[in-house]
Amino acid sequence: MNLNIEKLYQIAGKPVRNIIGLMSGTSFDGLDVALCEFTGSGTNTLVKVKHFITKEYQPEFKEEIKSVFAKRNADLEKITLLNAFIGTYYARLINECLTEWGVSNNEVDLIASHGQTIFHAPKHHHPSDAYGNATLQIGDADHLSVGTGIITLSDFRQKHIAAGGEGAPLAVYGDYLIFSDAVENRIMLNVGGIANFTYLPASRPEQFFSTDVGPGNTLMDQYVQLNFPGLYYDEDSTLAMQGSTNRPLLDALMAHPFFEAAFPKTTGPELFNIAYLDQALHVSGEEHLSSYDILATLASFSAKAIIHAIEVAIPATESFEIYISGGGMHNPLLVSHLENYFSKKIRSTSHLGINPDAKEAVLFALLANEAVAGTNESLRETAGIPRVSMGKVSFPD
């Protein structure tokens, strides 16, 4: 037997597995690195986050990613170069983390790398009947595995698409296996570049589902980067709180067929971008608005998209609690809109034992754990959520 295959077999049979989960989102703020300890699999999964850090990207690297991100006519040579470079760069960052944590590379069983999304193309985003759903993440896992000496799983979204999904959101797998509760109906809300949620009804686990709902931080971040040089996002809503919501612009932003499309659905910055905002400003006749009013309205837009999806998806008679994660949880204006509308305190996933900033990295570590040790039997087949193992394997030698 090939020694790498034998090692992977041994890892699958271990009672406890140490897996590093990696996540780099569309805000380009840095690489989330979570070292997780897993016991069991499926609905018997127990996970402990032993270490977590976000390794901040240098401004130059952020600009390199932005130059090819969500662009239909990107530089193919640069994409090719970045694919290899990011894999090697991730390896260096992981080695730094392990040194800082006092953990040897040999103590880590697996790495689970999401990669860097540069384009997401669900069928409803493109006009060609010849093609279906598609997505592309770069950051080659062979470079990552060789650079760390650790078996690496990557490219998780492709299997989801191959099995009939749209490649997102993948949070549903971790939400279902880790956060399901026998008593409490839970909405696991993640506000990253795009906002999505998983609904976990306590008494009807077979009816759980997950969907994207619209922009989270992406439009706000794009607008700040374009109009406030040197800033990448509106920290603590400082800029947006200097403005006020403009109703005509908000109505124009919400007037897209995506918001009335059936669940589950996915989207991305390929749709919700500066061109989308410019069109809404033109249609509403509000081109004169100050930057502060536009940012305030964009925060209201993200909140409105989340509220609209929850109201459509969940019967008004059902009570639920909302647990938030992702960068948007640090946007006090957006969170206040949600809390005021639902008349309840929105809590982070820290109340359920998982650092909310680490949640997505933990998710991919969980997907790797399921790929090597799970059976898929715990995952219930439901619309848009294929019951499959995800992740391609890269060996270090």
Provide the CB-side half-sphere exposure for 175 (13 A, CA).
30
- Which of 27, 48, 28 is closest to 366 using CA atoms? 48
Neighbours of 316 (CB within 10 A): 5
Element (H, E) at 16: strand 16-24
Burial degree of 226 (CB within 10 A; 0-12, 13-18, 19+):
exposed
Angle at 245 between CA 285 and CA 262, to 5 degrees: 85
β-partners of residue 49 are 36
* Contact call for residues 110 and 21 (beta carbons, < 8 A): no
How far apart CA 186 and CA 79 sit, in angstroms, is 39
Please give the chain's pLDDT, 397 residues, in tens. Answer: 899 999 999 999 999 999 999 999 877 889 999 999 999 999 899 999 999 999 999 989 999 999 999 899 999 999 999 999 999 999 999 999 999 999 999 999 999 999 999 999 888 888 788 899 999 999 999 999 999 999 999 999 999 999 888 888 888 888 999 999 999 999 999 999 999 999 999 977 677 889 999 999 999 999 999 999 989 899 999 999 999 999 999 999 999 999 999 988 999 999 999 999 999 999 999 999 999 999 999 999 999 999 999 999 998 899 999 999 999 999 999 999 999 999 999 999 999 999 999 999 999 999 999 999 987 665 655 655 788 889 999 999 9
Lookup result for tokens 């170069």 = 81
Which ranges constitute the DSSP H helices of the chain? 3-13, 59-66, 76-101, 141-148, 156-162, 171-179, 218-227, 247-253, 274-284, 291-313, 332-342, 359-373
* Contact call for residues 69 and 118 (beta carbons, < 8 A): yes
Neighbours of 205 (CB within 10 A): 14
* Contact call for residues 156 and 141 (beta carbons, < 8 A): no
Largest CA distance in the chain: 69
How far apart CA 75 and CA 128 sit, in angstroms, is 22
β-partners of residue 199 are 187, 209
pLDDT of residue 126: 83
